[in-house]
C-alpha cells in the first residue's frame, strides 16, 4: 500500500542554525494555529531549560497538513551532546531537511547528523536558512554543502538533493538563491515532490518501533514510535520484544492510542502503517523495543547508539550543610532518579559503584551531564558530583582516548591565544581559512583537553569567538595535559563570611562568595593564581581595641566576587574536589574537609609517586 497522504520528516542541523524557529513558521503557515492565536516563539522548546538556553535538548514531534497530506515533523537537538536523540528519531522518518546557516555554513554537528542520515539511506532536502543575514554567503555555502556530501560518500541521488533558501524568522522560502520568497509554500511543495510516498504493508501483523519515551503521572510510561507494519487498535493484545536484546518478552495491551495533530495528542481508535503514534498501557516499554501482535513476534532492528565519552560520580551530599536545602537527599532518591533518566535518554549510562552512596554516570559530554544536574536540582534533589573524566579504551593493548573535532571562529587578530591554548592541550591543526575579517580554525583535540577551555576561550577572544566541537574518534593516548593552572582558596573555619575576612582573603586571589555567605571548613571560596591551595579565614573579624588610629574607621572595599554558573563550576573543580549541588546553591568543596587530614593525604600521595 502506498501512503500518498503521509510524509514523515526530521529537521537536523548544527546548534543555533534555526531549526525550532523554522518549525514555528511551518506550524503557523500549516494552519495549526488560529489567525488570532497568540503563540510564543520557539513553541517546540517546551522545557524551561530549553527556553532559557535557547537550545533543543529533547526531540519533539508535531505535524501539519498541506494539500491533503499530513506531514509529521520531528524537531531534533543541534548540540553534539544530545546527538543520541538525533540518531534514534531518524528511525521514525523517511526524509530529512538539513538546515545550514547561510553565513556559518556546515559545522561539526552538521557533518555528524548528515553522516547518520546518509548511512540510513534517507532522502535529503538542503535548506539554506537565514538568507536575510547581512553576512550571508549563499553561493559559497552551497559549494561547502556539496563538498561535505561528497566527503561523506553520498549516493548520486543524495548529491542531487534540491536546495531551498529560507528565512525561518520571516517565514519565507524560495528555490532560487537570489530570491527570498514570500511564504513557505516552495518548501512544502519540495517536501511533497522530493520525499516519495511511503510504501507500507498495512495488511501484515502489527509492528511498532519505539523511538522515544514520555512519562505521564496518570497513565505511566508513554511509548512513541512509527507503525512499521499492520494496524494498531486500542485495547489490542501485544507482545514487546527487542532486536538487540532477545531476552525481552513482555505481554500487555494498548490501553490508550494517540496520533499527533499539531502540538496536541489526539486519542484515536486505530492507526495504520506509517503513522507516528503515542500509546500507554505497557509499563516496562523502553526505547528500541518493538511492539508486535501476540500471534506474530518479530522485532525491528534499531540503530546502535554511540557510546558515552565522559563520566562523573554522583553521590549523596555529605557536607556539613547536607539536608538543609533539598527535598530529595537520600541514596534511594538519587538512585531512583538516575535510573529513571535512562528511560528517556538513550545516550546515558548509570552504574552502581563499590560505595552504596555513589553512582557512575556516563554521557556524551560535559553539557549532556550538566543539563541532567541542572534538571535534578530544579526538581529538588540535593547531591554532589566529581570532576568529569573521559572514558578510555584499550585497543590491541594500547590506551586510546576520545578525540573531538573542534571548530573555532575568531577575529583575525585573536588567533594567537587560540594556537597557544591548543598547543598546551595537545590540539592538532587540521584546517585554517579566512571568512571576511574572521578566521575559521579546525583542530583535532583530546576531549579532556577541552575541559575548562570554554571560559578561557571567551576571555582570550574578548567574548567575540565562537567554538563548537563534536566527537571524532578514539585515538592513541596523547600524554599528560595540565588540567588547571590555578589553586583554590579554601576556608579553614566554619561560620559566616564577613567583610574583614574577605578583604584579607581577596589579596590572595579571586573570591567566589560575598559577605554574609555561610561557609564550612574545606569549602572552596575562591581561586589563587598560584598552582597550590591556600587556606584562608573569611570568617575573621576585626579585633576591637581601646585606641583609635587615623585608619581604623576606613571603609573596607571588596572586589565583586566571581559568581560561578553550574558549567563554570564543573569546569573549575579539580580531582580532589567535589561540587555540592542543591536547589538553592552550587558550592565547591574539598573531598577531605579537614585541613590536617588533607595535608597528610597530599604528602602520602607525593611520596607514593
DSSP 97: E
Q: Give backbone dihedrals phi and psi of 468, rounded to 5 degrees, phi first.
A: -145, 145
Look at residue 268 and tell me whether its pLDDT is greater than 70. Answer: yes
Whether 77 shows a pLDDT value over 80: the answer reads no
3-state SS, residue 344: coil
pLDDT confidence of residue 247 = 82
Higher pLDDT, 542 or 184: 184
> Could you report the per-residue pLDDT of 288-302, keeping only the tens digit for each?
888 888 888 888 887
Do residues 211 and 92 make contact, with C-beta atoms less than 8 angstroms apart?
Answer: yes
The CATH architecture annotation of domain 2-199 reads 3-Layer(aba) Sandwich (3.40)
**Where does the chain hold its CATH 3.30.70.240 domain(s)?**
393-476
CATH superfamily assigned to domain 487-544+556-579+587-608? bipa protein (2.40.50.250)
Of 75-84, 426-435, 449-458, the poorest mean pLDDT is in 75-84
Which string of DSSP letters, residue by residue, matches 182-197? Answer: SSSHHHHHHHHHHSPP
User: Any alpha helices (H) in 437-518, and if so which ranges?
Assistant: 453-460, 499-505
Cα 572–573–578 angle (5° rounding)?
150
Rounded Cα distance, 56 and 73, in Å = 15
Question: pLDDT above 70 covers what percent of the chain?
Answer: 88
| pLDDT tens digits, one per residue of 3-29 | 778 888 888 877 666 777 787 788 887
Domain 207-293 has CATH 3.40.50.300: no
Q: Provide the grid cell at 506.
A: 581577596
Q: Directed axis angle between helix 185-194 and helix 19-29, to 10°?
A: 100
Mean local confidence (pLDDT), 431-443: 83
Reply yes or no on whether the pLDDT at 580 is more than 90.
Answer: yes
Judged against a pLDDT cut of 90, whether residue 335 lies above it is answered with yes
Q: How confident is the model at residue 240 (pLDDT cuts 50, 70, 90)?
A: confident
Q: Would residue 554 be called left, alpha or beta, if left means φ above 0 and alpha means ψ between -120 and 50 degrees? A: beta
The pLDDT of 369-391, averaged and rounded, is 90
Paired residues of 395 in beta bridges:
398
CATH 2.40.50.250 in the chain is located at 487-544+556-579+587-608
**Contact between 489 and 527 (Cβ < 8 Å):** yes
Confidence of residue 350 (pLDDT cuts 50, 70, 90): very high
pLDDT of residue 578: 92
At residue 583, does pLDDT exceed 80?
Answer: yes
Distance CA(314)–CA(377), nearest Å, equals 13
For residues 266 and 256, give the distance between their C-alpha atoms in angstroms, rounded to a whole number. 10
Q: Which residues does residue 242 pair with via DSSP β-bridges, in sequence order?
A: 289
**Residue 309 vs residue 220, higher pLDDT:** 309
590: pLDDT confidence band, cut at 50, 70 and 90? Answer: very high
Across residues 439-467, what is the average pLDDT?
84
pLDDT interval class at 171 (50, 70, 90): confident
CA distances to 67, 200, 209, 562, 594 from 71, rounded to whole Å, are 10, 16, 19, 49, 62
Question: Using CA of residue 268, residue 270, residue 274, residue 277, what is the dihedral sign?
Answer: positive
Q: What is the pLDDT of residue 35?
A: 45
223 or 582: which leads in pLDDT: 582
Nearest 5 degrees, angle CA 123-CA 126-CA 128?
165
Cell triple for 115: 553522516
Q: What is the mean pLDDT of residues 463-486?
A: 82
Strands (E), 460-506: 466-476, 487-491, 495-496
Count other C-beta atoms under 10 Å from residue 558's C-beta: 14
Predicted structure pTM score? 0.72
pLDDT for residue 433: 84
Query: What local confidence, expressed as pLDDT, does residue 544 receive?
Result: 63
Residue 79 pLDDT > 80? no
pLDDT of residue 85: 56
Q: What is the mean pLDDT of residues 350-377?
A: 88
Which among 88, 82, 66 has a CA at the least distance from the CA of 74? 88
Asked if the model's pLDDT at residue 41 lies above 60, the reply is no
Residue bearing cell 591543526 = 429
Positions of CATH 3.40.50.300 in the chain: 2-199
With the C-alpha atoms ordered 449, 454, 459, 464, is the resulting torsion angle positive or negative? positive
CA-to-CA distance for 98 and 82, rounded, in angstroms? 17
Q: Is the pLDDT of residue 316 over 90?
A: yes
Which 3 state secondary structure label does DSSP give 308? coil
Average pLDDT, the chain: 81
> What local confidence, expressed as pLDDT, does residue 233 receive?
86
Q: What are the CA-CA distances from residue 12 to residues 75, 110, 160, 316, 495 (Å)?
A: 7, 8, 18, 38, 52
Q: Band the pLDDT of 449: cuts 50, 70, 90.
A: confident
For residue 342, give the H/E element and its range. Answer: none
Q: Which of 85-94, 246-255, 438-447, 572-581 has the lowest mean pLDDT?
A: 85-94
Q: Give the count of beta carbons closer than 10 Å to the beta carbon of residue 298.
A: 16
Q: What percentage of the chain has pLDDT greater than the value 90?
A: 11
54 close to 78: Cβ distance less than 8 angstroms: no
The arithmetic mean of pLDDT across residues 130-135, rounded, is 85
Buried b (16+ CB within 10 A) or exposed e, 324-349: ebbebbeeebbbebbeeeebbbbbbe
Instruction: Output the CATH code of domain 393-476.
Output: 3.30.70.240
Distance CA 518, CA 563 (A): 15
CATH 2.40.30.10 segments of the chain: 207-293
Provide, for the chain, the percentages of residues in helix, strand and coil under a 3-state DSSP scheme, each rounded to the nearest 5: 25, 35, 40
Question: Dihedral angle at the C-alpha atoms of 461, 561, 366, 152, nearest 10 degrees?
Answer: -10
Averaged over 328-348, what is the pLDDT?
86
Amino acid at each position: 500500500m502506498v501512503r500518498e497522504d503521509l510524509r514523515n520528516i526530521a529537521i537536523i542541523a548544527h546548534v543555533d542554525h534555526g531549526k525550532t524557529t523554522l518549525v514555528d513558521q511551518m506550524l503557523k503557515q500549516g494552519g495549526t494555529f488560529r489567525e488570532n492565536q497568540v503563540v510564543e516563539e520557539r513553541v517546540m522548546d517546551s522545557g524551561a531549560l530549553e527556553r532559557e538556553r535557547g537550545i533543543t535538548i529533547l526531540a519533539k514531534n508535531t505535524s501539519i497538513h498541506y494539500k491533503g497530506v499530513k506531514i509529521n515533523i520531528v524537531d531534533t537537538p543541534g548540540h553534539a551532546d544530545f546527538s543520541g536523540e538525533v540518531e534514534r528519531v531518524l528511525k521514525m522518518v523517511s526524509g530529512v531537511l538539513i538546515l545550514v546557516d547561510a553565513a556559518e555554513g556546515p559545522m561539526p554537528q552538521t557533518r555528524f547528523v548528515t553522516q547518520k542520515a546518509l548511512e540510513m539511506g534517507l532522502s535529503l532536502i538542503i535548506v539554506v536558512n537565514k538568507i536575510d543575514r547581512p553576512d550571508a554567503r549563499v553561493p559559497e555555502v552551497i559549494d561547502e554543502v556539496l563538498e561535505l556530501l561528497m566527503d561523506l560518500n553520498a549516493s548520486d541521488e543524495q548529491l542531487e538533493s534540491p536546495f531551498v533558501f529560507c528565512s525561518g524568522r520571516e517565514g519565507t522560502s524560495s528555490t532560487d538563491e537570489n530570491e527570498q520568497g514570500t511564504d513557505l509554500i516552495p518548501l512544502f511543495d519540495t517536501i511533497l515532490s522530493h520525499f516519495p510516498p511511503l510504501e507500507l504493508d498495512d495488511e501484515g501483523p502489527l509492528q511498532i518501533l519505539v523511538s522515544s519515551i514520555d512519562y505521564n503521572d496518570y497513565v505511566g510510561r508513554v511509548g512513541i514510535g512509527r507503525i512499521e507494519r499492520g494496524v494498531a487498535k486500542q485495547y489490542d493484545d501485544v507482545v514487546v520484544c527487542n532486536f538487540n536484546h532477545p531476552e525481552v518478552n513482555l505481554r500487555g495491551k494498548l490501553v490508550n492510542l494517540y496520533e499527533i495533530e499539531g502540538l496536541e495528542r489526539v486519542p484515536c481508535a486505530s492507526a495504520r502503517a506509517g503513522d507516528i503514534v503515542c500509546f500507554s498501557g505497557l509499563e516496562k516499554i523502553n526505547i528500541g523495543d518493538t511492539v508486535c501482535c501476540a500471534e506474530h513476534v518479530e522485532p525491528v532492528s534499531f540503530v546502535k547508539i554511540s557510546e558515552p565519552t565522559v563520566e562523573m560520580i554522583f553521590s549523596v551530599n555529605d557536607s556539613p550543610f547536607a539536608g538543609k536545602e533539598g527535598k530529595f537527599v537520600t541514596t534511594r532518591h538519587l538512585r531512583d532518579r538516575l535510573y529513571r533518566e535512562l528511560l528517556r535518554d538513550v545516550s546515558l549510562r548509570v552504574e552502581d559503584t563499590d560505595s552504596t552512596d555513589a553512582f557512575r554516570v556516563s554521557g556524551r559530554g560535559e553539557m549532556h551531564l550538566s543539563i541532567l544536574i541542572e534538571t535534578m536540582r530544579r526538581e529538588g534533589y540535593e547531591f554532589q558530583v566529581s570532576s568529569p573524566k573521559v572514558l578510555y579504551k584499550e585497543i590491541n593493548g594500547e590506551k586510546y582516548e576520545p578525540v573531538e573535532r573542534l571548530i573555532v571562529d575568531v577575529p583575525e587578530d585573536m588567533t594567537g591565544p587560540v594556537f597557544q591554548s591548543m598547543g598546551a592541550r595537545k590540539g592538532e591543526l587540521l584546517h585554517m581559512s579566512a571568512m571576511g575579517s574572521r578566521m575559521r580554525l579546525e583542530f583535532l583535540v583530546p576531549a579532556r583537553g577541552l575541559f575548562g577551555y570554554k571560559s578561557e576561550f571567551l576571555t582570550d577572544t574578548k567574548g567575540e569567538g565562537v567554538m563548537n566541537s563534536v566527537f571524532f574518534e578514539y585515538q592513541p593516548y596523547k600524554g599528560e595535559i595540565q588540567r588547571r593552572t590555578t589553586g583554590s582558596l579554601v576556608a579553614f573555619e566554619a561560620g559566616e563570611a564577613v567583610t574583614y575576612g574577605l578583604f584579607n582573603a581577596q589579596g590572595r586571589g579571586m573570591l567566589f562568595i560575598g559577605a554574609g555567605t555561610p561557609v564550612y571548613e574545606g569549602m572552596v571560596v575562591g581561586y589563587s593564581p598560584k598552582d597550590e591551595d591556600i587556606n584562608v579565614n573569611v570568617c575573621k573579624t576585626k579585633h576591637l581595641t581601646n585606641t583609635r588610629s587615623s585608619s581604623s574607621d576606613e571603609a573596607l572595599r571588596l572586589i565583586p566576587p566571581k559568581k560561578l554558573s553550574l558549567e563554570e563550576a564543573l569546569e573549575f573543580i579539580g580531582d580532589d574536589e567535589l561540587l555540592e549541588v542543591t536547589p538553592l546553591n552550587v558550592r565547591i568543596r574539598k573531598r577531605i574537609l579537614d585541613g590536617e587530614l588533607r595535608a597528610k593525604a597530599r604528602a602520602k600521595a607525593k611520596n607514593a609517586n
